[in-house]
A and B are shown apart, each in its own frame.
Chain A
Amino acid sequence: PGSPSGPTSMMQSGINQAKDTNDPPGLHEKTEYLLREWVQLYHNPGIARDYNRQAFTQFVNQMSQQGILKSDELITRFFRLCTQLCVDVTYSTLKNFSTNAALVRAQCFKTLDAYVRLIVLLVKLSGEANNPATKINLLNKVLGIVAGVLMSDHDSKGKEFQQLPFHRIFIMLFIELNAPEHILEAMNFQVLTAFVNTYRILRPARYPGFAFAWLELISHRAFIGRMLQLTAQQRGWNMYAQILIDLFKFLAPFLRNADLNRAMQVLYKGTLRVLLVLLHDFPEFLCDYHYAFCDVIPPNCIQMRNLILSAFPRNMRLPDPFTPNLKVDMLTEIAHAPKIMTNVAAMIQPESFRKDLESYLKSRSPSTFLTELRSKLQITNDPGNRYNIPLMNALVLHVGTQAIQNLQLKGMSPNTSTITQTSHMEIFQNLSLDLDTEGRYLFLNAIANQLRFPNSHTHYFSCALLSLFADAHSVALQEQITRVLLERLIVNRPHPWGLLVTFIELIRNQVYKFWGHDFVHCSPEIARLFETVAKSCNQNRS
């Protein structure tokens, strides 16, 4: 796909050509005439009923008589002019009729749907029947043209920009190209790739005026179904994860500052709904990509992250975290590592830092490694933005997985005593001591992000967090650990299993002397909060 003549370049050339309005004289009129003819043909009940081939062949003949099919360039211009005409029709219809919203839309759809059908038929019939390459190239070209028209329309119209025509063209085109027909099914993966590329180019961070339609497009049941379920071997999963990351990245700056106007609130609510659908129908997808998602979701978005971290494989039965004397180390699942679809080690940059880290993990040298650790993670002096969060997350997970491997090599399983006295735990202890409040918060969050369904990571990081609490030199650290756990539990459900198990262990097990700490009783509100949480833990005991 990356080759100079491949689909991606077809899309790019479509985008570029959408800006070229230097048409040969008369082409505009010809196109307008043809499109009007076609819209009539499409809505003629006698002809369009079963999408009569003959009527279409006749229309193609007409196109060729008008000289449209002479060259690729003219075909491209024809598509661009058609798209522009459809967009113009939508704008003028929306402007002229303000009475009945449903009627106005039906009026717009008449032209837009006809145009979509024309695209589908031309794509299906281009090239030889069993050669999908030509069809795919044409599709990419057309998608590129529609995207290109959207871009200039978005940037020139500003606040007057309408999502409707583009939204309609994309969704109807997608539905039609996913019809159960052999010729379409044979090229389905390339069709999906073409749409994913288009949607990624039109991501909301770049085209905010299209954000609502974009969210509708990527959460449409037909699209999710194709991406996550109907495409074999989960070949659509990575592409869909990239689209969600585009969405999270767009939301991140607004969510981080809790700066939500009405429009943002609606987008946020829509995002939560998509995540709920995914949690219910495709929990394994959220499990596999949890790391990449948590990397881009701001630390203060607790519920959004909980939705992702609560996902667990459907064939797994989770023991009730409130069971008294629950022996987590007896569960068979905790020996197995969860799938992580991100190359975490490669995220530790620069190269020299990664090498130093590996050597420190092996030999606990050079000793300067620990003292320099903080400076590697801190990037600015700007409060709230001091740290490289992706690097922190990668460091924590990588050190943890190395620790688990080491223990397994020695035939030991992780528990609060076996994990101590290692280079790995030394790094964690150093981070919890040496970082300032902000850094420590991010560090503890990176650990808490691993407290999920029963698996080796959940178990290791649960032990690590409890041991940091037990061996803490300062009350401030213990308070912060409590805060990170508690703030993830006081939000509405769902709550990740590993998070509950860790918190219950902390408040129940006498070794942690949890109730003896001042911060538990510092204010009546906090004291009441703890009572409520403790009560809910104890109530479930019976």
Chain B
Amino acid sequence: MLMAAYSHIPHPSDSERLRNYLPRNPIHTPSYYPQTQPAHNDTVEFFQRLSTEALFFIFYYMEGTKAQYLAAKALKKQSWRFHTKYMMWFQRHDEPRTITDEYEQGTYIYFDYEKWGQRRKEGFTFEYRYLEDRDLN
């Protein structure tokens, strides 16, 4: 019975939340490739050293993980702001032309997750009610 159980031993993903995009797929890699992740790769400092594109990838493809949280934190530190209606990250391209209590208007750089690249938008109105402003600590 034990040997039978051994032939379908639990998989690492069995006790993890479902990963929709990047499921675990353990395979044997040669020993001269890194077998473990670098130390301290779960700190904001580490995430801040990653490219913005890597951070966007983590944000959209690793939902509900600590990595997603750290990526969001690193993006915020680099003055990106999340738009909760468009579900995209925006960064001011220059000083907004108008700033009121409800919105700001100007030129922005944003990351389009469907076309997978940065785009520029002129005369965009960022309504503050769509600004995600939770304190990530």
Contacts and interface: CB of A to CB of B under 8 A. Distances in A.
B23 A220 contact: no
A478 to B, nearest CB: 42
A261 interface: yes
A163 to B, nearest CB: 6
A171 B11 CA distance: 13
Interface in A209-238: 209-213, 216-217, 220
B4 interface: yes
A103 B23 contact: yes
Interface string A86-123: 00000000000000011101100110010000000000
B15 interface: yes
Contact of A210 (B3, B5, B14, B20): B5
Contacts of A167: 10, 14-15
The secondary-structure label for the interface of chain B is loop
Given A168-B14, A171-B14, A216-B15, A102 B4 contact: no
A63 B70 CA distance: 40
A105 B9 CA distance: 13
Contacts of A171: 14-15
A158 B1 contact: yes
A160 B1 CA distance: 9
Contact of A163 (B10, B17, B20, B24): B10
Contacts of B19: 106
Interface stretch (A262-270, A349-357, A397-405, A465-473): A262-270
Given A103-B23, A220-B15, A264 B10 contact: no
B: contact size bracket = 20 to 34
Contacts of B5: 161, 163, 208-212, 263
Interface in A245-299: 261-264, 266-267
Contacts, number: 77
A208 B10 contact: no
B87 to A, nearest CB: 11
Contacts of B2: 208-209, 211, 261, 263-264, 267
A266 B11 CA distance: 14
Contact of A113 (B11, B18, B25): B18
B134 interface: no
Interface in A169-220: 171-172, 208-213, 216-217, 220
B136 to A, nearest CB: 16
Interface residues of A, number: 34
B118 interface: no
Instruction: Specify which of B5, B11, B13, B24 lies most central, judged by the most chain A CB atoms within 10 Å of its CB.
Output: B5
B49 interface: no
Nearest to A265: B6
B82 to A, nearest CB: 15
A86 to B, nearest CB: 14
A216 B6 CA distance: 13
Given A212-B5, A266-B9, A106 B23 contact: yes
Contacts of A101: 11, 25
Contacts of B40: none
Contacts of B20: 106
A163 B18 contact: no
B4 A209 contact: yes
B115 interface: no
A242 B31 CA distance: 39
A19 to B, nearest CB: 20
Interface in B53-71: none
Interface in B1-57: 1-6, 8-11, 13-15, 17-20, 23-25
A141 B17 CA distance: 25
Contacts of A263: 2-3, 5-6
Nearest to B13: A105
B4 A158 contact: yes
Given A109-B18, A113-B18, A220-B15, A161 B4 contact: yes
Contacts of B8: 162-164
A212 B9 contact: yes
A354 B87 CA distance: 74
A314 interface: no
B4 A110 contact: no
A105 B20 CA distance: 11
Contacts of B18: 106, 109-110, 113
A158 B4 CA distance: 8
A266 B18 CA distance: 26
Interface of A: 101-103, 105-106, 109-110, 113, 158-164, 167-168, 171-172, 208-213, 216-217, 220, 261-264, 266-267
Interface of B: 1-6, 8-11, 13-15, 17-20, 23-25
29 contacts: A101-B11, A103-B23, A105-B14, A106-B20, A110-B18, A113-B17, A159-B4, A161-B4, A161-B5, A163-B5, A163-B10, A164-B14, A167-B10, A167-B14, A168-B15, A172-B17, A208-B1, A208-B2, A210-B5, A211-B2, A212-B6, A213-B10, A216-B14, A216-B15, A217-B15, A261-B2, A261-B3, A263-B2, A266-B6
Given A113-B17, A167-B14, A220-B15, 7 more contacts: A105-B13, A106-B20, A106-B23, A167-B10, A212-B10, A216-B14, A261-B2
The 3 A-B pairs with the shortest beta carbon distances in the complex, nearest first, are A263-B6, A102-B23, A159-B4
